[in-house]
Amino acid sequence: MTDLFNPTEEHLALRDMVRAFAEREVDPQAAEHDKHERFNLPLFRKLGELGLLGVTVEERWGGAGMDAVAAVIAHEELSAADPGFCLAYLAHSMLFANNLAHNGDDAQRGRLLPLACSGEILGGMAMSEPGAGTDVLGMQTRAVADGDDWVLDGAKMWITNGALNDAELGDAFLVYARTAPGSRGLSLFLVEKGMPGFRLGQKIHDKLGMRASTTAELVFDGCRVPGRNLVGAEGQAVKHMMRNLELERLTLAAMSLGMARRSIEVMNRHASERQAFGQPIREFGQIQRHIAESYAEYMAGRSYVYQVAAALSLKSGGNRVDSDGVKLYCGTMAKNVADRAIQVLGGYGYVGEYQVERLWRDAKLIEIGGGTVEAHHKNITRDLGRLDKLR
């Protein structure tokens, strides 16, 4: 029988490699970088040496050429150690590298993907704005043709990898901008550090969670972008966006799996070690309920995620209802599991030393970023309304 979570020997080897790296190098630095809201760029570049930064990018562009299941494995394992660091990885590998690999032309791929896959550049994707998040068609950033160039004006907000530090921009971004009215009026541009009129607005500080990844505002003030940096055809960005959002939501759900798994491991170990009234607290029904329900919910979510990943085409997508579904379920599941872990640990869970306090803070982001819980409710209900029966 095929292992749903490791369908091939290659997938199993990938999991073993990423888990070993996460335990050896990611976990020990997590608390410190969370505390100081600092992104670990040298550690990030080591992911390039492992072939993870382009895990779904074709080998001819410097990637590993693997599938959606491989992407899920990488995100599950890294987030079990440091979800903030993993979020930076997701923004780079999924929202930038995978997006460019499937929507860019050969010149764009050849110029930037080898650098992205090696970690020489840090990339991201810019869609949300100060006044437009879930309402994508409400975006105000505009691009106007000017000779052979495009001129961008506007601002993007909440951009992961937007800054390397407090004063320095990330290296390259896929930026969505309006080129005409309506849903067919959005286009996608490659905007790179150093382009005239492109600057860092503010780095966002004091976030509840995911503090080991940078979040920033990007400002485009008459930003001049060469015509060759238009990604795909003018006005076709919504199609690109929807296809890549499926993989983004799937890998965000995979991050939730990693957070839930680590929370269960911590509370399970503590329940055996902690004594109360002369016996381990795992002998008490209240504690048993926290552990048992957490495990069952985690395994239900894990099975759902890997089933969706196995069926997902990186080129065409095509399962929007379940990419929404896995993130809707797993995001809330991970937050609830981390909450139960804090409860099982009591006062110990409320402080940073035992990790579940940080996991609880990090888990909340999955209910907001990449599509809010409310957006998933709307999307799933709309898509199911087109069906007479469920398969």
Per-residue model confidence as pLDDT tens digits over 97-106: 999 999 999 9
What would the pLDDT profile of 185-210 be if each residue is shown by its tens digit? 999 999 999 999 999 999 999 999 99
Amino acid at 104: G
Q: Are 212 and 85 in contact (CB under 8 A)?
A: yes
- Mean pLDDT, rounded, for 213-232: 97
Between helix 356-364 and helix 27-35 the angle, nearest 10°, is 70
Write down the CATH superfamily of domain 237-384: Butyryl-CoA Dehydrogenase, subunit A, domain 3 (1.20.140.10)
Is the pLDDT confidence value at 384 over 90? yes
Contacts of 377 (CB under 8 A, 6+ apart): 328
How does residue 379 score in pLDDT terms, banded at 50, 70 and 90? very high
> For the domain bounded by 9-122, which CATH number is listed?
1.10.540.10
Please report the pLDDT score of residue 293 as a whole number. Answer: 98
- Please return the burial class of 54, using the count of CB atoms within 10 Å of its CB with bins 0-12, 13-18 and 19+: buried
Q: Which of 106, 122, 97 lies closest to 193 in space, CA to CA? A: 122
Q: Are 30 and 37 in contact (CB under 8 A)?
A: no
- Mean pLDDT, rounded, for 229-234: 96
- Mean pLDDT, rounded, for 55-82: 98
Q: Which of 8, 80, 55 lies closest to 337 in space, CA to CA? A: 80
> For the domain bounded by 124-231, which CATH number is listed?
2.40.110.10
Q: Which of 261, 268, 250, 230 lies closest to 325 in space, CA to CA? A: 250
Please indicate whether the domains covering 124-231 and 237-384 agree at the CATH topology level: no
Contacts of 292 (CB under 8 A, 6+ apart): none
Q: Which of 162, 95, 103, 100 lies closest to 125 in space, CA to CA? A: 95
Please report the pLDDT score of residue 183 as a whole number. Answer: 76
Residue with tokens 């492992």: 50
Active-site annotation holds for 248: yes
- Mean pLDDT, rounded, for 305-326: 91
* Residue 218 phi, psi (nearest 5): -110, 135
196 CB neighbour count, 10 Å cutoff? 11
- Annotated catalytic residue: which of 37, 77, 129, 248? 248
Q: How far is CA 383 from CA 106, 163, 245, 388, in A?
A: 34, 36, 15, 11
Please report the pLDDT score of residue 136 as a whole number. Answer: 78
Rounded to the nearest angstrom, the gap between the alpha carbon of residue 31 and the centroid of all alpha carbons in its chain is 20
* Residue 217 phi, psi (nearest 5): -95, 135
Q: Where along the chain do its domains lie?
A: 9-122, 124-231, 237-384
Task: Classify 193 as helix, strand or coil.
Answer: coil
Please report the pLDDT score of residue 108 as a whole number. Answer: 98
Please report the pLDDT score of residue 239 as a whole number. Answer: 82
Q: E strands along the chain, which residues?
A: 123-126, 142-146, 149-160, 172-178, 186-192, 198-203, 215-226, 230-231, 275-276, 279-280
Rounded to the nearest angstrom, the gap between the alpha carbon of residue 155 and the centroid of all alpha carbons in its chain is 21
Reading the block at residue 237, the tokens are 């960005």
What would the pLDDT profile of 236-290 be if each residue is shown by its tens digit? 898 888 888 999 999 999 999 999 999 999 999 999 999 999 999 999 999 999 9
Please report the pLDDT score of residue 1 as a whole number. Answer: 58
- Mean pLDDT, rounded, for 344-356: 95
Q: What is the DSSP letter of 312?
A: -
